[in-house]
Amino acid sequence: MRQGGSSKSSFPLAPTRSFAGLLFVLAAIWYAASSQNNAASYLLLFALMSVFLVSIPRTLLNLGGLQATAESIKPAFAGQEVSLPVEVTNESRATRYGIALTLPDLGDAGEHIDEIPAGKAARTVLRFPAATRGEHQIGRLHLTSVYPLGFLQVLKQLSTPQRYVVYPKPAGDQRLPAETARSGQRSSRRELGEGDDFAGVRAYVRGESQRHIDWKAVARGQALMTKQFTAESDGMLYLDLAAVQLDDLEARLSQLALWVIEAERARRPYGLRLPAAEIPPSLGESHLHGCLHALALFQ
Amino acid sequence: MKTLRRQDTRIPRRPLLWLAVALLFALPPMFGTLPSWVPLLFLIALTAKFWMQPKGYHLRSLFWKVVLVALILSLLFFSYGSLRGIEPGVSLIVMLTSVKILEAHTAREFHIMIMVAWVLCLCGFFLSQNLAIALCLLIAFTLLLVALIQFHRGSSSAFWPPVRTAGKLLAQAAPLIVLLFLFFPRFSTGFRFQIASQRGSSTGFSDHLSPGSVSSLTNSSEVAFRAEFPDGKIPTLGAMYWRGVVMWHCEGLEWNAPKNPAALPKTSQSSLRSEGVRQWITIEAHDARWMFALDWPANWPSGARLAPGDYLWSDQPIHKARRYEVTSYPEIPNNQLHSGEREPLLQLPAAISPAARALVQSWTAGKAEPRAIVEKALEFFRAQGFLYSPSPGEYGKNGLDEFLFHRRLGFCEHYAASFATLMRLAGVPARVVTGYLGGEYNEIGHFFLVRQADAHAWCEVWFPDRGWQRVDPTAVVAPDRVNLGFSSFLERRAAAGQLDNTQGVLARKLARWPIFARARLGWQTLSYAWDTRVLSFDGDEQESFFTAIGIAGRGPIFFIVGSLLVAIALLALYTGWTHLRTRACGDRIKRIYESFCRKAARLGAPRNPSEGPLDFSRRAMRLLPNDSERIRSIAEAYIALRYAPASDPMTLEQFAKAVSAFVRAS
């Protein structure tokens, strides 16, 4: 999903740090020129002033016609980096130079794009740390530029409706529960889904993982079929928040996240039981992300 | 792509290269005016930087920085004796810049270096303001812009684009520069820091005449002043005696002028019988107070006085090029000698040899008239084998006798000094005048260029009936010097083989080529325009400019605010124009469709960013059942225009109309 940012208007020009330096140099030249009555120095003063003045419209217009679109963001674990792919399109008829992208709400993350020719686009990836678990909003995206002389900074503020999810940081030192929650007579039931034992084929549904497509059948000219496996569930592994013996909620969620990953790696079908929701046991990437997502959003 | 935190990154090589070249162009004014080790150390620091930068080295240790600065301060103190004054100050700035170059390695320090380089340009203008230096500093200034632009362009490595951008910036700034230069008020801050006098020795012209003092200037092509004759009345080259200083005190071959002459009262011009010659003279800075004018100035500019002896004397030392108007008359306006004045005009050194006395007695025998004595003296120079030479060699303590009776080889100062001394011996009041003779006419700019090499010395003798009259003994010995001008005189001598000046022959041959001659005249004209139009435009000139265009008498605030307002208005115009020129062209279809979407959103059917036009129209039709027909036709037209292989221009117009009618109808 791609979403375009909409721009907000606020006064776009601000002096940079080197502007103070410029003022100081101008004052020094003025003082020297007037105390010596030195026409050549006056000329230098006016040249510097005029070049600065002429650079204002250039800086001001350097972001004209620029549109930034943020693309969808992959979830990340807390403590890791979130990557936000951004495409900056130059819809104006002039090349734009020296554009910086920053996320003011998310620390000092930033990227530089040196040049975007007229009518072209450039892509870059903004990286910023995923601080806390949960679903967050990107908030503002700032396009800034100090081109050409660096004395003034022009700002274009875009708000991106983009949201991203941060999973709890997988951590904890408790072992993955070996004991499974058996529930009486259902003990011998075999779960269809992703497991180790081949159980037959069924018609392929778009969007499913291609890993289990029966490619040999395809080669024989048959339709796409998905191989089905069953996991030997000598019992179901239910990861229960209430069962984690820790005081801190975040630590418990972190422990659950670690277990989910470990179970997936061990290919033991696992389910998740939270006070408000329950995810039945299964295996696979989408199941993994579903569980982590639930952990991330847990209130 | 680079990370935003450039503060931590090294300065890219290319902007640094531009900065270095800019600094090289800021150097020329420093050679020759500062001790040569200053620009040399600067160059070494610059070279070292390019060796250090790729390796990531830079001057880190605070200890070494302190040591370096202390070393520089002591070196400067050692060579100047003090750290005050403009040259030690400039040297200090140059040396500290060198240290900064060695130390700088972050983006912020790059900006600081650019600022420092601008200050160095300023320093250059303090050391010298001639056109060549100004062009060098203009190049340096432009290259600094290029360095900044290249820095902000990041990694793009094309050579010309940043140069072009800098050129465009400068070209767009040019009208603003002119505007500010003309109208931005020049008020003096009152406090002047003193420029140490360093030019006195190089110009050579002085208030002291001794053997060799004028002939030492014959190789100096430095400009003394330029003169224009606004009324078109141009005297002949041989009569172009530019009066500088009058010397009264005689020491044989050495003469001295008073250090601080008094002022003569203004005389009324009605007492003058003949018409005057008006001159505009642009004098180069020489840090002394003499000013030049044709013989004999009677109408002088303010800020100067007419000293006894009828020469101009500035009230203030001339530290910068100055332009003034003066009118000269072919006679001295107040040509009388009072009884008390005659005595000092016959002052002579104590030691005059018997031979010289005998020589003079042979002229004065029989109560000869002053005029006859002058004639006899000139005849003596003409007939006794005296030779004129720019390099007559040294004269010792008994110079007068050695010159008159043995070597008989001299330059104008020898002839003028000895002639005036002999006249005083004979009881005729006489004085020595130093100045310039002739000049080079520039036919492009219509002005005379007078160089140091045109320096000359001559005499004035008092006649009871006619007053002070000019007598130039050099004219007797070398008439061509007077009539042709000094450089033509030398050329003729060289052609006749009388001068073994081989080094200048090639240059003179080249100079005779028409192209070079034109180029030289053109350069001189430009240089003259720079001096007269730009350098001499100070507060007073600005005031008279304001008077001329009728906006005089307003306070500086009016002009600051006014010129800045005009500048901002120009900028706003330019901004608008550029915006129109570069704004998003987009396609019209998309714009119209976007306006439709906005209207639909206002009616309660906002389009999701992910929704295609067909999906959106279906949903909008459900949400806005009243307009469903219109929405459908707009969506169909849009899809047809957007995705059909070739669309009909009529459809576009209908589509535009349909969209503009959309809200009005509903």
d(C-alpha B468, C-alpha B431), whole Å: 9
Do A242 and A105 lie in one domain? The reply is no
Domain containing A60: what range? 3-167
Mean pLDDT of B224-241: 86
d(C-alpha B370, C-alpha B271), whole Å: 26
B324 vs A132, B327, B351, CA distance in Å? 78, 10, 43
Mean pLDDT of B158-175: 89
How close, in Å, is residue B36 to chain A by CA atoms? 24
d(C-alpha B378, C-alpha B475), whole Å: 10
Do A188 and A128 lie in one domain? The reply is no
Do A15 and A155 lie in one domain? The reply is yes
Mark yes or no for CB contact B5/A110 under 8 Å: yes
> Measured between beta carbons, which residues in chain A are less than 8 angstroms from residue B155?
114
Is residue A176 included in any domain, yes or no? no
Is residue A172 included in any domain, yes or no? no
d(C-alpha B632, C-alpha A170), whole Å: 52
How close, in Å, is residue A51 to chain B by CA atoms? 5
Domain ranges of chain B: 6-165, 205-264+273-537, 539-582, 588-665
Do A9 and A138 lie in one domain? The reply is yes
Is residue A59 included in any domain, yes or no? yes
Q: What interface predicted TM-score (ipTM) does this complex get?
A: 0.75
Question: B157 in contact with A at a CB cutoff of 8 Å?
Answer: no
Q: Report the SS3 class of residue A299.
A: coil
A 10 A CB-CB count for B112 gives 16
Do A150 and A195 lie in one domain? The reply is no
Mark yes or no for CB contact A98/B1 under 8 Å: no
How close, in Å, is residue A14 to chain B by CA atoms? 17
- What does the pLDDT read at residue A189? 44
Question: Residue B256: which residues within 8 A CB-CB, separation 6 or more?
Answer: B207, B208, B209, B247, B248, B249
DSSP sequence for B507-533: HHHHHHSHHHHHHHHHHHHHHHHIIII
Is residue A60 included in any domain, yes or no? yes
- On average, the pLDDT of chain A sits at 80
Do A111 and A38 lie in one domain? The reply is yes
Task: Count structural domains, chain A.
Answer: 2
Q: Report the SS3 class of residue B348.
A: coil
Closest CA to B4 of B104, B103, B107: B107
How close, in Å, is residue A102 to chain B by CA atoms? 8
Over 70: is that where the pLDDT of A265 sits? yes
pLDDT tens-digit profile of A133-160? 888 888 888 888 988 888 999 988 887 7
Question: B580 in contact with A at a CB cutoff of 8 Å?
Answer: no
Is residue A174 included in any domain, yes or no? no
Of the candidates B108, B571, B586, the beta carbon closest to that of A57 is on B571
Do A196 and A255 lie in one domain? The reply is yes
E strand or H helix at A218: helix A215-219
Which tokens go with A176?
């993955």
Q: Are the C-beta atoms of residues B312 and B248 closer than 8 Å to each other? A: no
Mean pLDDT of A181-186: 45
Do A127 and A202 lie in one domain? The reply is no
> Measured between beta carbons, which residues in chain B are less than 8 angstroms from residue A22?
115
How close, in Å, is residue A169 to chain B by CA atoms? 27
Looking up residue A126, the CATH number of its domain turns out to be: 2.60.40.10
d(C-alpha B369, C-alpha B374), whole Å: 9
- What does the pLDDT read at residue B37? 84
Which tokens go with B188?
């003096």
Chain B contact probe: residue of A22, A31, A34 with most B CBs at under 10 A: A34
* Helix spans in B154-278 (H): 160-183, 200-203
Question: B106 in contact with A at a CB cutoff of 8 Å?
Answer: no
- What does the pLDDT read at residue B549? 86
Strand-pairing partners, residue A203, are A225
Question: B173 in contact with A at a CB cutoff of 8 Å?
Answer: yes
How close, in Å, is residue A18 to chain B by CA atoms? 7
d(C-alpha A123, C-alpha A87), whole Å: 4
Is residue A179 included in any domain, yes or no? no
Q: Are the C-beta atoms of residues A100 and A145 closer than 8 Å to each other? A: yes
Q: Report the SS3 class of residue A199.
A: strand
φ and ψ at B497, to 5 degrees? 75, 15
pLDDT tens-digit profile of A11-61? 778 898 889 999 999 999 998 888 877 888 999 999 999 999 989 888 888
- Give the lowest-confidence range in A106-120, A121-135, B244-258: A106-120
Residue at token pair 């302190």: B66
Is residue A88 included in any domain, yes or no? yes
> Measured between beta carbons, which residues in chain A are less than 8 angstroms from residue B152?
97-98, 146-150
A 10 A CB-CB count for B665 gives 9
Residue where a domain stops, chosen among A140, A167, A194: A167
Of the candidates A93, A147, A148, the beta carbon closest to that of B582 is on A93
Is residue A56 included in any domain, yes or no? yes
Of the candidates B6, B539, B583, the beta carbon closest to that of A64 is on B583
Do A127 and A18 lie in one domain? The reply is yes
Instruction: Tell me which residues of chain B, numbers 590 to 619, contact chain A at a CB-CB cutoff of 8 Å.
Output: 609-610
Of the candidates B154, B180, B186, the beta carbon closest to that of A98 is on B154
Mark yes or no for CB contact A41/B173 under 8 Å: no
pLDDT tens-digit profile of B536-591? 887 878 888 888 888 877 777 888 888 888 888 988 888 888 878 776 655 677 77
